[in-house]
Amino acid sequence: MNIATITLNPAIDQTVFVDHFQLNTVNRARAMQRDAGGKGVNVASFLADYGLSVTATGLLGAENPHIFERHFAAKGITDRFVRVPGATRIGVKIVDEANQQTTDINLPGLPPPPAALNTLIDVIDELAVNHEWFVLAGKLPPGVPIEFIPNLVARLRSFNCNVALDVSGPALIAGLQAQPSLVKPNLDELRQIDLLDGEGLEAVGNAARRINQMGVGLAIVSMGAQGAIFSDGTQLLHAIPPSVTVRSTVGAGDAMVAGTIAGLVEGLSLTEIARRATAFSLAALGSIGAHLPPRAELIALAAKVTVTVVDPAVTTVTPVDQ
């Protein structure tokens, strides 16, 4: 099965390693790393590492595409990005491994000319003929209206394609109206759009169910160290990860999206999808850059994930048989 990712606002992730990072003072970095990034690029990278056929498209600065081109070639990702005038933005990630903390500094990105957006739509239409899944992830670049998101979701649905949507704020509100197949907000993103009413597992479960009632087939709410809620309108599951050493939180949510899609295309049950997605996310936490370990390690990680059945109406939790 062919999968395509769409990244409208990619970034070069410049990761600086600073143990015991402090504000308002001089910090001594011990290392630096640069990676091709952006949420959709990360999802494509994880899927490619898992051995799936992936095409990446979106908008890429014509002045500095080389790090992306090398990355796509190394991962075996088909590059269908539309080049636009200017340089792709840099996102600075300050990683404090000693305290297991990551600080992001994200720049706004390039405003694309209208002709580039038209070209991108043509590319997506072409890909929709033979790609069953599309992942639309990340922020909009400056100058692109919010309506671009729901219009694109609806356009892909008209081709009978499945769409995974991982955006935030007004773009998420608008995108939900187009009824994508899958969404994966985190707790903060739910609060931003007033979908999370209260605290605790019951509130999160109710929010996921409300998303299902909007016509979204699978709603996933990531909750950091507390795991994630998976809801398909019938089942409501809580995936609880084991404790792991965190090198960087960058890309962990993207890995969860990738793991979910990998499970869906393999026809796994929702319980096994929850384990698979959580294992992808755990693997990302232990790596700098969007890279997965071999499948045997992912399977071992998935086996350590506890999945419980949650009923938010009565706040009961029932373990799922391993």
How far is 107 from 15, CA to CA, in rounded Å? Answer: 14
How far is 266 from 281, CA to CA, in rounded Å? Answer: 18
Cβ pair 40, 58 in contact under 8 A: yes
How far is 207 from 209, CA to CA, in rounded Å? Answer: 5
Cβ pair 202, 312 in contact under 8 A: yes
How far is 66 from 87, CA to CA, in rounded Å? Answer: 11
The two tokens of residue 300 are 């071992």
CA 56 to centroid of chain Cα atoms: 14
Of 241, 256, 258, the C-alpha closest to 305 is: 241
Of 75, 71, 94, the C-alpha closest to 10 is: 71
Stretch (H or E) spanning 56: strand 53-61
pTM: 0.92
pLDDT of 312 reads 62
pLDDT of 317 reads 46
How far is 148 from 131, CA to CA, in rounded Å? Answer: 20
pLDDT of 1 reads 80
Which are the catalytic amino acids?
254
Packing angle of the helix pair 270-285, 252-265 (nearest 10 deg)? 150
Please report the DSSP string for 83-131 in residue order. EESS---EEEEEEETTTTEEEEEE---PPPPHHHHHHHHHHHHHHHTT-
Domains in the chain with CATH codes: 2-319 (3.40.1190.20)
Stretch (H or E) spanning 149: helix 148-158
Kindly list the averaged pLDDT for each block of 10 residues, start to end, along the chain of length 322.
96 94 95 94 97 97 97 98 96 89 89 96 98 97 96 98 97 96 95 87 93 96 93 95 79 95 96 97 86 92 94 54 48
Residues 6+ apart with CB under 8 A from 78: 54, 55, 56, 72
How far is 21 from 227, CA to CA, in rounded Å? Answer: 26
pLDDT of 319 reads 53
